[in-house]
C-alpha cells in the first residue's frame, strides 16, 4: 500500500541524554545516559514505520520524545512542518492534536476512576474546539463503535473490560482528535496472542479508514513485519538499519539485524534444525558509556580496527539497497537461509 503520501513527520538528529548526577545538596553531573542518540527518519501519510530493538535500546524514550512528553537534548521533531520540540503552550496543544499515542499496558493506561465515556471524551474536553459540548457523547459512542465496542457501555469503568477491550478503549481515545499520526508503543505486547491479532487487525482497518500513519514500536519482529511498510532497527540509541519491510527481513545487511532476525522463532521443527542461528556474545553495553566508533562492535563477529575508530554512518552501502550503519554491510538472508 505504501504509495508515498505527503511527509507528515520529520525527525532529525534527535538526541535525548538523561543526566547522571551525584551528590545530595549540590548535584554534579558525572555523565549521561545516551538513551536516544541521533535518530533521524521520515514518516509519510498512511504509512507504518516499525521500530524494533531489544529492551533498553531507546524505543520508548523515542516514543516519549515524539509525543513531547520529554524534551529532547537536541534535534527536532516536525509534525506537518511544525517543530514539536520547541513549541509551547497553545501551539504545542494544536500540534498534539495531530499526533496521538496508544500505550503499552491497557491495565495502567486508563484511569480506573473514570468511566469509558469520560476517558474517551477527555480529548474533547481538553481540545474544546474539536467538538461542541452537545455532540460529545454521540462522538464518544461513535468512537466506541469504530473500535468494536458496544456504545452502550459508555458508563462502565475500565476494570469491567478485558485486556483487549481496554486496549480498544485506549485506541478510541487516541483516535478522538482525528490525528494523522499515532505512536503505538508496544500496543500488543501486554495482550494474549489471539487478542494481539484482533488489535493488529483493528489498527490496520483504522489505518485504511482514516489514512493514519503509525509509528509502531515493538520487540516482536513478526508483528512488526505484519503491520509495517518500513522498519527501523535500533541498537543502543541509534538506528542501525532502516528500509522497507522486505528489505529488512529478506536482505538484512547490518550484523545486528541479522542476529535479531535469526532469533525469530520458526514454527516448523524441520526448518528449525537447518536454519542459521547467530548467537551474540555478552550483553548490550551501558548507554552511559557506549563503545567508541560502532556501538555494536563489542558483540560483532565482523568487527575490525576501523569499527573502533570510525563511527559507521547510516547510509546506503554498496550492494545494499537501503541505509545501513555498518562498515561491512552485506545483504544476507537469515530468515530463509538453510544449511
Partner 1 sequence: MSNSTITASPPKHAKSGKGKKPASLWSDAWYDLRHSKVFLFGAALALLLVIVAAFPSLFSPLDAFDKSTCDLARARDGLDATHWFGSDNLGCDTYSRVIYGARVSIIVGIVATLVTSLVGGFLGLLAGFYGRWTDVLLSRVAEIFFAIPSILGALLILAVVGRDNAGIGSVVLALSVLAWPLVLRIMRAAVITTKSQDFVLAARALGAGPIRIMIRHILPNALAPVIVVTTMNLGVFIAAEAGLSFLGVGIQSPDISWGLMIADARNRFLEAPAPLLFPALFLSITVLAFVMLGDAVRDALDPKLR
| Binding residues for partner 1 (CB under 8 A) | 67-69, 92-93, 96-97, 100-101, 103-105, 108-114, 122-123, 125-127, 145, 148-153, 156-157, 159-162, 164-165, 168, 170, 173, 177
Residue 252 burial (CB < 10 Å; 0-12/13-18/19+)?
buried
Other beta carbons within 10 angstroms of residue 30's beta carbon come to: 11
Report d(CA 206, CA 181) in Å as an integer: 12
- Minimum CB distance to partner 1 smaller for 36 or for 68: 68
Q: Which is nearer to partner 1, 198 or 246 (CB)?
A: 198
Nearer to partner 1, 28 or 113 (CB): 113
Place of cell 495482550: 191
Q: Kindly give the pairing relationship between strand 181-185 and strand 238-244.
A: unpaired
Q: Which is nearer to partner 1, 120 or 239 (CB)?
A: 120
Contact between residue 161 and residue 169 where contact means Cβ atoms under 8 Å apart: yes
Q: Give least dist CB 91 to partner 1, A.
A: 11
Residue 147 Cβ, how far from partner 1 at the closest point, in Å? Answer: 10
CB of 157 to partner 1, least distance (A): 5
Q: What separation in angstroms does the CA of 171 have from each of 1, 167, 229, 264, 305? A: 22, 6, 20, 28, 48
Assess contact for 86 and 53: CB atoms under 8 A: no
Placement of cell 499526533 in the chain: 99
Quote the least distance from Cβ 109 to partner 1, whole Å. 4
- 39 or 67: whose CB is closer to partner 1? 67
Residue closer to partner 1, measured from CB, 35 or 233: 35
**Least distance (Å) between residue 99 CB and partner 1:** 9
Least separation in angstroms between CB 87 and partner 1? 11
Amino acid at each position: 500500500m505504501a504509495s508515498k503520501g505527503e511527509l507528515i513527520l520529520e525527525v532529525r538528529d534527535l538526541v535525548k541524554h538523561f543526566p547522571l548526577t551525584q551528590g545530595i545538596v549540590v548535584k554534579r553531573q558525572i555523565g549521561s545516559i545516551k538513551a536516544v542518540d541521533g535518530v533521524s527518519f521520515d514518516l509519510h501519510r498512511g504509512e507504518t514505520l516499525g521500530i524494533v530493538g531489544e529492551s533498553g535500546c531507546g524505543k520508548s524514550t523515542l516514543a516519549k520524545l515524539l509525543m513531547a512528553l520529554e524534551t529532547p537534548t537536541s534535534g527536532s521533531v516536525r509534525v506537518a512542518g511544525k517543530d514539536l520540540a520547541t513549541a509551547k503552550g497553545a501551539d504545542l496543544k494544536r500540534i498534539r492534536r495531530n499526533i496521538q499515542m496508544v500505550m503499552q499496558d491497557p491495565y495502567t493506561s486508563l484511569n480506573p476512576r473514570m468511566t469509558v465515556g469520560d476517558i474517551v471524551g477527555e480529548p474533547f474536553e481538553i481540545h474544546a474546539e474539536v467538538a461542541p459540548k452537545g455532540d460529545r457523547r454521540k462522538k464518544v459512542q461513535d468512537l466506541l463503535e469504530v473500535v468494536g465496542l458496544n456504545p452502550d457501555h459508555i458508563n462502565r469503568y475500565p476494570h469491567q473490560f478485558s485486556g483487549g477491550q481496554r486496549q480498544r478503549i485506549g485506541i478510541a481515545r487516541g483516535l478522538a482528535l482525528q490525528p494523522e499520526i499515532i505512536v503505538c508503543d508496544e500496543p500488543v505486547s501486554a495482550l494474549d496472542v489471539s487478542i494481539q491479532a484482533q488489535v493488529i487487525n483493528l489498527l490496520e482497518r483504522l489505518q485504511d479508514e482514516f489514512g493514519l500513519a503509525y509509528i509502531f514500536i515493538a520487540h516482536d519482529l513478526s508483528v512488526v513485519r505484519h503491520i509495517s511498510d518500513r522498519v527501523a532497527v535500533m541498537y543502543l540509541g541509534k538506528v542501525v538499519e532502516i528500509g522497507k519491510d522486505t528489505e529488512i527481513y529478506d536482505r538484512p545487511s547490518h550484523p545486528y539485524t541479522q542476529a535479531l532476525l535469526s532469533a525469530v522463532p520458526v514454527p516448523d521443527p524441520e526448518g528449525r534444525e537447518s536454519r542459521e542461528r547467530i548467537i551474540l556474545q555478552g550483553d548490550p553495553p551501558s548507554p552511559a558509556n557506549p563503545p567508541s566508533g560502532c556501538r555494536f562492535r563489542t558483540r560483532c563477529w565482523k568487527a575490525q580496527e576501523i569499527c573502533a575508530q570510525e563511527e559507521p554512518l547510516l547510509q546506503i552501502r554498496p550492494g545494499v539497497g537501503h541505509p545501513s550503519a555498518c562498515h561491512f554491510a552485506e545483504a544476507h538472508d537469515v530468515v530463509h537461509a538453510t544449511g
